[in-house]
Amino acid sequence: MARILVVEDEPSIALGLEDDLKLEGYQVEVVSDGETASRRAREGSFDLIILDLMLPQKGGFEVCRELRRAGLETPIIMLTAKTHEAEKVLGLELGADDYVTKPFSPLELRARVKAVLRRSQGELPEVYRFGDCEIDFHRFEVRRAGKPVKLTSLEFKLLTALVRNRGRVLNRDQLLDLVWGSDTFVTDRVVDTHITNLRKKIESGPDQPRYLVSIRGMGYRFDG
């Protein structure tokens, strides 16, 4: 399930977007100013950001520029009320992936969201292989040397989150957010427990993990 950050200060539009995207099965978080958007975009590990241009505190262009400068690669769809060509060009130059002009139809926005997500998640194949393991995202199954490995649904989600962000360190808060959800009450020790269990299932040497690597003082990284 993709996670979408909606940045929109007009309550009616924000609510409409939220309802609509949730109905499509996405996880949605709404923020209404540029400052919060910039912060949440970096800490929340979203799959997509829908960013309005005219925002209190910090405009959409500035937020976009800031995020790209910080190295964030999350796709961004800009919402522009302006039909001015220069604005669209500027948005794309600043690193936005697409734009939708207000007023837009829910149908149009949904199509754009799907297209952008398909593009950005295309790098993860239906079956992802590493070592003697393969993750079948279609069947929610992990196989090792061809035989199914029993994973709990949390373990599967955790593994997926790490594989999706392979090569990147995710701290425990980010993992809790991604796997357990942002309003969870579990402690970050739970993450460690699940990582340990996962290692036993997919690593040949669980004590010296080759794929689910600990980065001291920071978190975990998937190398595969």
Applying CB under 5 A, which residues contact Ca ion?
9, 52, 54
Nearer to Ca ion, 32 or 182 (CB): 32
Nearer to Ca ion, 57 or 171 (CB): 57
Structure tokens at 126: 């239906």
Instruction: Give min distance, CB of 145 to Ca ion, in A.
Output: 54
Q: Classify 168 as helix, strand or coil.
A: coil
Nearer to Ca ion, 52 or 98 (CB): 52
Instruction: Give min distance, CB of 215 to Ca ion, in A.
Output: 39
How buried is residue 52: exposed, middle or buried, by Cβ count under 10 Å (0-12/13-18/19+)?
Answer: buried
Nearer to Ca ion, 99 or 156 (CB): 99
Nearer to Ca ion, 38 or 45 (CB): 38
Instruction: Give min distance, CB of 10 to Ca ion, in A.
Output: 5
Nearer to Ca ion, 96 or 151 (CB): 96
Comparing every residue's Cβ against Ca ion, the nearest one is 54
Instruction: Give min distance, CB of 13 to Ca ion, in A.
Output: 8
Cβ atoms 31, 63 nearer than 8 A: no
The sign of the CA dihedral 131, 135, 136, 137 is: negative
Instruction: Give min distance, CB of 76 to Ca ion, in A.
Output: 15
Instruction: Determine phi and psi for 129, rounding to 5 degrees.
Output: -115, 140
Cα angle at 210 between 209 and 215, to 5 degrees? 70
| DSSP structural state of residue 203 | -
Q: Of 152, 151, 179, nearest to 165 (Cα)?
A: 179
Question: CA 108 to CA 131: how far, in whole Å?
Answer: 41
* CA 76 from centroid of its chain's CA atoms: 11
Instruction: Determine phi and psi for 219, rounding to 5 degrees.
Output: 160, -135
Instruction: Give min distance, CB of 113 to Ca ion, in A.
Output: 19
Q: Of 213, 219, 212, 211, nearest to 173 (Cα)?
A: 219
